[in-house]
Amino acid sequence: MNSAVNDDDELLEPDAAEVDEDVPQPIRIRIRRKLPGRRLDKYLHGRFPRLSRTMIQKLIKSGDITVNDRPTKPSYEMEAGDRVDLLIPPPEPYELIPENIPLDIIYEDDYVLAINKPIGIICHPARATQSGTIANALAYYARSLSTGSDAFRPGIVHRLDKNTSGVMIVAKTDEAHWRLSRQFEQRTTRKIYLGVVHGNLELDADEISVPIAAHPSVHDRYVVSGVAARLGGRFQRNLGKEAVTRYEVVERYGAFCLVRLFPKTGRTHQLRVHMSHIGHPMVGDPFYGGSHVSLSAVTGRPEDSAEPIMTRQALHAWKLIVVHPIRETPLELSAEPPADMRRLIELLRQHRRAR
């Protein structure tokens, strides 16, 4: 367990010689100062990231987490002098099962490797029974991967959405992992995406700087913070997280545009949410206001096929530029879009020429 002391609290643990990892561990935290606006469940999730917020809420409701020896609620806001007692369950036994899933390797050395992530596959398991992920494929392919902070995601430094393709960099050593992670945290990496969006953008280039928050009622959905506040929830105080995206129009097709997207921050679903917010959602992304596009929709001819050209969002992580974590030299990685997105772009170009 983390025994660091910070400005907010003092963590008191049992004698290390007495700790048995196979049984629940009693932990005590003394709160040094009032934490206005900080819910108990969110605070504890930050202190013990191995435990999900859902698990922490269950522990509070079952009485395994108390404040000043009394039962409490997940929404309790801590006061100076509070004593929080936790009975932490032992970690679930877990082993990532290697799976022979083909990987498109675009770069590899002794410290890192980079892949062109295919569509339709998630980056790592969310639970011990889940398989068929990039992490399972990496466990089969690589002789060594960084341990990171989570057994579910060895080697994985950053993620892409399930139906977003493109460049992902993976760490093979722990030193490479923390050095790469620091670059992402300090926003010194350069990420360039390609996307096809609905509508004809008014400007050739612009920057979108709008905070993003989790949707108050729809799981795994995100909205700009102003919308979140109108929908309800606790966003009057929590205005979301800073999110900044720059875009450039590459080609115009009348009712569609091919754009380059440069995320300066790395929020979940950031590009999809931001483009939807300005009225130009990603093609093939009904979750955020886009729609699937058929050949008939591209040509305007009713007799053409009504089958979708793409069945996922038209978004691809095209380039990633980092400093090599060990050699300290620039490392530029790139991957061409998959066949479905290339076909969509070519059809849009052909139709524009025909018109």
Q: Are residues 227 and 279 in the same domain?
A: yes
What is the spatial distance between Cα 99 and Cα 137, in angstroms, rounded to a whole number?
5
Token pair of 269 as six digits: 């679903």
Residue 167 has pLDDT above 50, yes or no: yes
Among 88, 115, 141, where does a domain finish? Answer: 88
pLDDT at 13: 57
Which residues neighbour 52 within 8 Å (Cβ) at sequence distance 6 or greater? 45
Q: Are residues 172 and 310 in the same domain?
A: no
Q: Are residues 236 and 311 in the same domain?
A: yes
Q: Looking only at Cα atoms, what is the longest distance across the chain? A: 77
Over its C-alpha atoms, the chain yields an Rg (Å, rounded) of 23
For residue 76, tell me if it sits in a domain.
yes
Supply the residues annotated as catalytic. 161
Q: Are residues 172 and 195 in the same domain?
A: no
For residue 203, tell me if it sits in a domain.
yes
- The residue type of 319 is K
Q: Are residues 341 and 212 in the same domain?
A: yes
- The enclosing domain of 237 has a CATH number of 3.30.2350.10
Mean per-residue pLDDT of the chain: 86
Residue 354 has pLDDT above 70, yes or no: no
For residue 1, tell me if it sits in a domain.
no
- The enclosing domain of 77 has a CATH number of 3.10.290.10
Q: Which domain holds residue 311?
A: 191-324+337-354
Q: What is the DSSP letter of 39?
A: B
pLDDT at 215: 83
**Please, how many CA atoms are within 13 Å of residue 167, restricted to the half-sphere of its CB?**
23
For residue 55, tell me if it sits in a domain.
yes
Backbone angles phi, psi at 139, to 5 degrees: -60, -30
pLDDT 10s digits, 308-321: 999 999 999 999 99
Q: Are residues 181 and 277 in the same domain?
A: no
Q: Are residues 349 and 219 in the same domain?
A: yes
Q: Are residues 169 and 196 in the same domain?
A: no
Number of domains in the chain: 3
For residue 4, tell me if it sits in a domain.
no
DSSP string, 227-264: HHHHH-SSTTT---B--EEEEEEEEE-SSEEEEEEEES
pLDDT 10s digits, 19-55: 445 566 788 899 888 777 778 998 888 787 767 788 8
> Which residues does residue 170 pair with via DSSP β-bridges, in sequence order?
113, 156
Which residues neighbour 17 within 8 Å (Cβ) at sequence distance 6 or greater? none
Token pair of 115 as six digits: 């892949």
pTM, two decimals, is: 0.73
